[in-house]
Amino acid sequence: MVEREIIEIDEEKCNGCGECIPNCPEGALQIIDDKARLVSDLHCDGLGACIGHCPQEAMHIIKREAEPYDEKKVMEEIVKKGENTIKAHLEHLKEHGEEGYLKEATEFLEENGIDNPLEKEDKAPLPHSCPGSAMQDFRKEEKAEEAEKQTRQRSELGQWPVQLMLVSPNASYFNDADLLIAADCVPFANANFHSEFLEGKSLVIGCPKLDDVKFYKEKLTAIFKDNNIKSITIAHMEVPCCFGLQSIVEEALGDSGKEIPVEQKIISVRGEITD
């Protein structure tokens, strides 16, 4: 057994709709007793392709002891499902930069005389590929006007630290504050983050996909409970895995027993506010 990232399913939230099943080409999930279940640690790669397809937000990634992921065993099951599933799985590995697993999968196809769909003419990504990790290159698109590019913005950051893992719930900058809770990627995507979001606010940042969700919930609960927070703004990216930040904040607010106005801002991968 090794400690690694793996899917966890909140049974109370799961309604057994089955939307996650076709979006796990590895075959790690099944509907059992009207609930989605992780039936094989060996088959779950922990990359989270299923998360964005769960309408109940019942799925998230945790770190725990689990059997090591076995690409060869996964491929034994995937090839039984046909070319489209093989292609979806290979693209899933490629988009997440899992070159080692991709090499193992390719070798398995070669050893068994099965065509590799990625070696054929390029086609549009299948619906089951992971949309939040799809590669996009904006460098060739039209840039902002030269005058705008040369404008230097003033920093609106009024505290340190900002990472949710590091801040103290009793920090003075939380009392009587308008609180901005931002996903890690938002300041990189939105060029006007300081002026459009941060001005006049206290800030915490985190990643709902890669960090400890349970810890985040407990830390936010303490911040809400121990301070007079006047308002909460949640800013996260449009990719599916980022929507978990909204549910973390809502659960923490419920546990705190406070009633605080909440506003959600969704940012596109081009940095635009989409809501």
Most confident among 103-107, 139-143, 178-182, 211-215 (mean pLDDT): 178-182
Q: What is the pLDDT of residues 134-179, one digit of tens each?
A: 556 555 555 554 555 555 677 899 998 999 988 888 888 998 999 9
Give the Cα separation of 115 and 56 in Å (integer): 37
* Chain centroid, CA 149 distance in Å: 30
Q: What pLDDT shows up at residue 89?
A: 81
Q: What pLDDT shows up at residue 128?
A: 46
Query: What does CATH list as the number for 2-121?
Result: 3.30.70.20
Q: What pLDDT shows up at residue 145?
A: 47
Tokens of 142: 């039209």
Give me the phi and psi of 163, to 5 degrees please: -65, 130
Interior angle at CA 62, CA 137 and CA 98, nearest 5: 40
Per-residue CA distances from 149 to 22, 50, 157, 191 (Å): 44, 39, 21, 10
Give the Cα separation of 31 and 37 in Å (integer): 6
Give the Cα separation of 274 and 252 in Å (integer): 25
Q: Which is higher by pLDDT, 125 or 24? A: 24
Q: How confident is the model at residue 245 (pLDDT cuts 50, 70, 90)?
A: very high
Q: What pLDDT shows up at residue 81?
A: 77
Q: How confident is the model at residue 275 (pLDDT cuts 50, 70, 90)?
A: low
Give the Cα separation of 262 and 248 in Å (integer): 13
Q: What is the mean pLDDT of the chain?
A: 84
Residue 96 above 90 pLDDT?
Answer: no
Domain with CATH 3.40.50 in the chain: 154-267
Q: What pLDDT shows up at residue 70?
A: 85
Mean pLDDT of 8-16: 91
Mean pLDDT of 235-245: 89
Q: What pLDDT shows up at residue 48?
A: 81
Alpha helix (H) residue ranges in 112-229: 146-149, 186-189, 193, 213-226
Q: Which is higher by pLDDT, 36 or 148? A: 36
Domain with CATH 3.30.70.20 in the chain: 2-121
Let me know: does 173 contact 202? Beta carbons within 8 Å: yes
Q: What pLDDT shows up at residue 229?
A: 96
Q: What pLDDT shows up at residue 136?
A: 61
Closest to 194 (Cα-Cα) out of 246, 146, 245, 152: 152
Residue 211 above 50 pLDDT?
Answer: yes
Closest to 234 (Cα-Cα) out of 269, 270, 273, 195: 273
Give the Cα separation of 67 and 74 in Å (integer): 13
Query: What does CATH list as the number for 154-267?
Result: 3.40.50
Q: Which is higher by pLDDT, 46 or 123? A: 46
Residue 92 above 80 pLDDT?
Answer: no
Residue 142 neighbours by CB under 8 Å, 6+ apart: none
Q: What pLDDT shows up at residue 138?
A: 57
How many residues comprise the chain? Answer: 275
Q: What pLDDT shows up at residue 205?
A: 96
* pTM over 0.85, yes/no: no
The residue written with tokens 């490629």 in the block is 94
**Residue-by-residue DSSP string for 211-244:** S-HHHHHHHHHHHHHHS-EEEEEEEEESSGGGGH
Residue 267 above 90 pLDDT?
Answer: yes
The residue written with tokens 């090839």 in the block is 79
Q: How confident is the model at residue 230 (pLDDT cuts 50, 70, 90)?
A: very high
